[in-house]
């Protein structure tokens, strides 16, 4: 069992006991004890409550299981989250950054955003919701530049959207976490080629790409790219 900030990783064994296949389970320290967001298990460990993080419902959890460092987002960070959907992953990011951190959550669909506001932003005081298009990057600077931009939008120009938001809102040497949905960019091209193409696009635009993690079997044809915006 390994604790990094507000993220706990447990090594478990599959069928077969000691000879079974090792697996990882990721949990976050619950910022709002007693409250689940999407039906996840609440687990008490040494008197502290954690929330089980489902990698089949969260690409960030899937990436951590596949080797992304657990401290990619840290306690106290300010995060601009583009494409919150109903707030499953956003709620765990809220746990990670804790009371001294902030999550600025952006969702375009008013129907989905209502669920996000009701289930996450209303309950978690460190989450600020915007019902807006992620392309409107100039709208999200009210709280100053952020430590992390997390972008998970299913658009053909998803990488360009992320780059524009980083230029306007990310601190120098801040981090971009980009979810690449290859079929939203090109339905014909091999996903691996799409991932390489989008990584190169980031490098040409002032980022140092540190990791590219394909997310299968949790999400087919998806990858997470972790990159740092090079300082001036």
C-alpha span between 7 and 55 (Å, rounded) = 14
pLDDT tens digit sequence for 45-91: 999 999 999 999 999 999 999 999 999 999 999 999 999 999 999 99
Query: Is 26 within 8 Å of 62 (Cβ atoms)?
Result: no
DSSP 138-161: GGG-TT--EEEEEE----TTHHHH
Q: Which of 140, 137, 141, 162 is nearest to 225 (CA)?
A: 162
Omega within 30 of 0 (cis) for the link into 217: yes
E strand intervals along the chain: 2-4, 7-13, 22-29, 42-45, 48-53, 78-82, 102-107, 127-131, 146-151, 170-181, 207-214, 222-229
Residue 189: pLDDT above 80? yes
Three-state DSSP class for 103? strand
Q: What is the mean pLDDT of the chain?
A: 92
| Percent of the chain surpassing pLDDT 90 | 84
Residue 1: pLDDT above 70? no
pLDDT value of position 14: 56
Domain 54-229 falls in which CATH fold?
Rossmann fold (3.40.50)
pLDDT value of position 18: 44
pLDDT value of position 4: 75
pLDDT tens digit sequence for 94-109: 999 999 999 999 999 9
C-alpha span between 39 and 158 (Å, rounded) = 30
C-alpha span between 108 and 89 (Å, rounded) = 16
Q: Where are the domains of the chain?
A: 54-229
Mean pLDDT score, 127-140: 95
- pTM for this structure? 0.92
pLDDT value of position 210: 97
C-alpha span between 179 and 150 (Å, rounded) = 8
């Amino acid at each position: 069992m390994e604790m990094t900030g507000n993220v706990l990783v447990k090594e478990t064994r599959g069928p077969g006991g000691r000879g079974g296949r090792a697996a990882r389970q990721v949990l976050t320290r619950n910022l709002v004890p007693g409250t689940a967001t999407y039906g996840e298990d609440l687990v008490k460990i040494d008197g502290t409550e954690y929330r089980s993080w489902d990698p089949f419902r969260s690409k960030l959890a899937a990436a951590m299981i596949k080797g992304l460092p657990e401290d990619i987002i840290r306690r106290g960070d300010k995060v601009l989250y583009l494409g919150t959907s109903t707030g499953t992953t956003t709620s765990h990011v809220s746990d990670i950054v804790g009371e001294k951190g902030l999550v600025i959550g952006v969702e375009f669909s008013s129907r989905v955003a209502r669920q996000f506001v009701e289930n996450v932003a209303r309950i978690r005081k460190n989450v600020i919701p915007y019902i807006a298009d992620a392309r409107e990057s100039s709208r999200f600077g009210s709280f100053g530049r952020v430590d992390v931009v997390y972008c998970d939008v299913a658009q053909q120009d998803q990488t360009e959207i992320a780059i524009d938001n980083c230029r306007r809102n990310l601190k120098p040497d801040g981090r971009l976490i980009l979810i690449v949905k290859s079929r939203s960019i090109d339905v014909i091209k091999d996903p691996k080629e799409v991932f390489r193409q989008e990584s190169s696009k980031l490098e040409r635009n002032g980022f140092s790409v540190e990791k590219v993690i394909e997310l299968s079997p949790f999400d087919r044809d998806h990858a997470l790219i972790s990159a740092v915006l090079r300082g001036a």
